[in-house]
Amino acid sequence: GAGVSQTPSNKVTEKGKYVELRCDPISGHTALYWYRQSLGQGPEFLIYFQGTGAADDSGLPNDRFFAVRPEGSVSTLKIQRTERGDSAVYLCASSAETGGNEKLFFGSGTQLSVL
């Protein structure tokens, strides 16, 4: 595709439910990132994938959060037993290489609302 695609664009759920957020990166991009952005704040790093493996998951808040990228392209962020504090915009980004100074291409995000 032309850009990073995230689905759904909006997700409303009830406290305690399970949600999955999907990210389709730009074709051929090996690096994939998840960030979380709360209202009025900058994005906050969650996890980085290089290919299929999670090279750095140090930003995941707790063990309710998990992400996979089984074939090295599409990634899914999974949140169990959602809490109201999980409400935020979840952003996915990809980049072509992993030199460390490649620009990130972000999707438009998934707005998660936990009622």
Partner 1 sequence: SQKIEQNSEALNIQEGKTATLTCNYTNYSPAYLQWYRQDPGRGPVFLLLIRENEKEKRKERLKVTFDTTLKQSLFHITASQPADSATYLCALATSGGYNKLIFGAGTRLAVHP
Q: Does 91 bind partner 1 (CB under 8 A)?
A: yes
Q: Does 28 bind partner 1 (CB under 8 A)?
A: no
Tokens of 24: 């389709």
Q: Does 56 bind partner 1 (CB under 8 A)?
A: yes
Q: 23 and 4 in contact (C-beta within 8 Å)?
A: yes
Q: Does 110 bind partner 1 (CB under 8 A)?
A: no
Chain-centre distance of CA 18, in angstroms? 15
Q: Is 39 helix (H, G, I), strand (E, B) or coil?
A: coil
Residue 18 or residue 56: which is nearer to partner 1 going by CB? Answer: 56
Residue 1 or residue 42: which is nearer to partner 1 going by CB? Answer: 42
Q: Does 1 bind partner 1 (CB under 8 A)?
A: no
The Cα 69–Cα 14 span in angstroms is: 26
> Strand 53-56 relative to strand 44-50: parallel, antiparallel, unpaired?
antiparallel
Which chain residues interact with partner 1 by CB under 8 A? 4, 31, 33, 35, 40-45, 48, 50, 55-56, 59, 91, 93, 95, 98-109
